[in-house]
Chains A and B, each alone.
Chain A
């Protein structure tokens, strides 16, 4: 149980394009989903927290107009990187949990390379 999927697992795009990453909880309903970014050999960095049906809460320094998050259902959240630039190249990981005390389960991550 507690499986989280992400799609795509890999994406290469040209600078200036937008990229959408999907995060799905496959066997449970996720009241909250989280989006992280991780650069090589660095720690996980929380970008934003999204609750189903409400606006995402972004961490300080994360541009909400650049990283659009939609949590339309209890099993799906999407992250859209708008007008991607090479410095956005990173490993994007989502996680999901069922309740406030519950464990976060991570998706397998999406590697984004912006050329």
Chain B
């Protein structure tokens, strides 16, 4: 079992819709959770971090964490074509190992 799992996609949503990206992790003791965005040919950039159960909002982005279900998600409201990228979920495990998922490719269709 991989430490962090994401659906590879591709996920396609129309412009203006909500894009929902999901991630599960295996280490129940994990403490820190991150979402990165990676455009084609570029390095990853941090979108959000979340440490506590519940929702954390930043502009059009909302991260949701459920430690009991070992699940973290990212919602993108009012999706724009510029949001088209690969989204990487990352988890800092109880042993302070940093694990990335393989990423979900998102395409926002104008």
**CB distance A108 to B34 under 8 Å?**
no
Q: Is the CB of A106 within 8 A of B45?
A: yes
The verdict on A100 contacting B42 (CB below 8 Å), with A43-B102, A44-B88 known, is no
Number of A-B contacts (CB under 8 A): 40
> B96: CB under 8 A from chain A?
yes
A47 within 8 A of B: no
Of the residues A43, A101, A103, A108, contact of B31 by C-beta under 8 Å: A101
Whether B42 lies near A103 (C-beta < 8 A) is no
Q: Are B49 and A103 in contact (CB under 8 A)?
A: yes
Which of B41, B92, B100, B103 meets A101, CB within 8 Å?
B92
Please pick, from B32, B41, B44, the residue contacting A106 in the complex, using a CB distance under 8 A.
Answer: B44
Contact A43 B45, beta carbon cutoff 8 Å: no
Interface string of B39-54 (1 = CB under 8 A from A): 0011111100101000
Interface string of B5-33 (1 = CB under 8 A from A): 00000000000000000000000000110
Given contacts A44-B100, A100-B92, A101-B92, contact A109 B43 (CB under 8 A): yes
- Interface pair A100/B96, CB less than 8 Å apart: yes
Q: How far is the CA of A46 from the CA of B102 in the complex (A)?
A: 12
- B49 lies within 8 A of A43 (CB): no
Q: What is the bound-complex CA distance between A97 and B46, given in angstroms? A: 12
Chain B residues engaging chain A, CB cutoff 8 angstroms? 31-32, 34, 36, 41-46, 49, 51, 88, 90, 92, 96, 98, 100, 102-103
